[in-house]
Amino acid sequence: MQKVETHACFGGVQEVWQHRSQALDCDMRFGIYLPSQAREARCPVLYWLSGLTCTEQNFITKAGAQRYAAEHGVIVVAPDTSPRGPQVADAERYDLGQGAGFYLNATHEPWSAHYRMHDYIVEELPRLVEAQFNASDARAISGHSMGGHGALVLALRNPDRYRSVSAFSPIVAPAQVPWGEQAFTAYLGDDRDAWRSWDASELVRSTPAQANRPVLLVDQGEADEFLATQLRPELLEAACRETGYPLRLRRHAGYDHSYYFIASFIGEHIAHHAAALRN
């Protein structure tokens, strides 16, 4: 591991680290905010998954999360959104390839060689964070847009790994919208049955009633330019209604898809996770 950045922030430190990922077979970076409480005791961890085109920098510089993480004593880890490097497959468009990993394990070439973001986020990164920092194994997960999709899917696929989950403007039914259809076709192939295990709305329908089911906290701006075509929160709402899965969907008039929206409500999300992580 190599430390790339360190900045004093709200009594703690905001750092960026680089390491070699075995899951992705490339070098990766992640941001980590360590509150002052982490100097004395192991702290719970919130994993943040960013959206299309983002790196670890977008969230740590724009969301204003450090203030609230310091208040609640929560470590916040913000990884990159995909494998990167000259040897990693890419596409000319912004919504496929590097910067657009979709937090799944690709099964089709050339993507399958590196695009195993599910394994990286769920297994490798927590193992590294808990070994190298004063971090406990109490975990929560959140994200925005493509990262909101990732947070919901990873929490639904791995309910014993995360105590809480939330999302801003998530792609809730990627199998039914252009962004998801394009990515799933490339990464997973044409078999739509294989897509179901990476689609939050479908995973809600397949979760047994007796399983661990943390409430899905979702915030959506009503002035979001992608609302009707790519995000479609009503599809997740319908799936949760059909199955009785707990969903807290909050719609906000006037808010768009930007980090202005995230910064407005990130404090409430961190408080939501902090309460679950303390229990």
Q: 211 pLDDT exceeds 90? A: no
Distance of alpha carbon 193 from alpha carbon 129, whole angstroms: 34
Query: If pLDDT is split at 50, 70 and 90, which confidence band does 209 have?
Result: confident
Catalytic residue among 72, 257, 272, 273: 257
- Can 108 be counted among the known catalytic residues? no
Q: Is 269 a catalytic residue?
A: no
For the stretch 230-246, pLDDT in tens is: 999 999 999 999 999 99
Rounded to whole angstroms, how far apart are CA atoms 13 and 50? 20
The 10 Å Cβ neighbour count of residue 81 is 26
Burial grade of 202 (CB within 10 A; 0-12, 13-18, 19 or more): buried
Options 82, 142, 145, 166, the catalytic residue: 145
pTM of the model: 0.97
Closest CA to 249 of 204, 191, 279: 204
- Active-site annotation holds for 224: yes
Q: What is the mean pLDDT of the chain?
A: 97
CATH class of 2-278: alpha beta
* Mean pLDDT, rounded, for 151-156: 98
CA-nearest of 38, 119, 75, 59 to 273 is 75
> Over the stretch 39-68, which tens digit does the pLDDT of each residue have?
999 999 999 999 999 999 999 999 999 999
Domain layout of the chain by residue ranges: 2-278
Is residue 17 scored above 80 in pLDDT?
A: yes
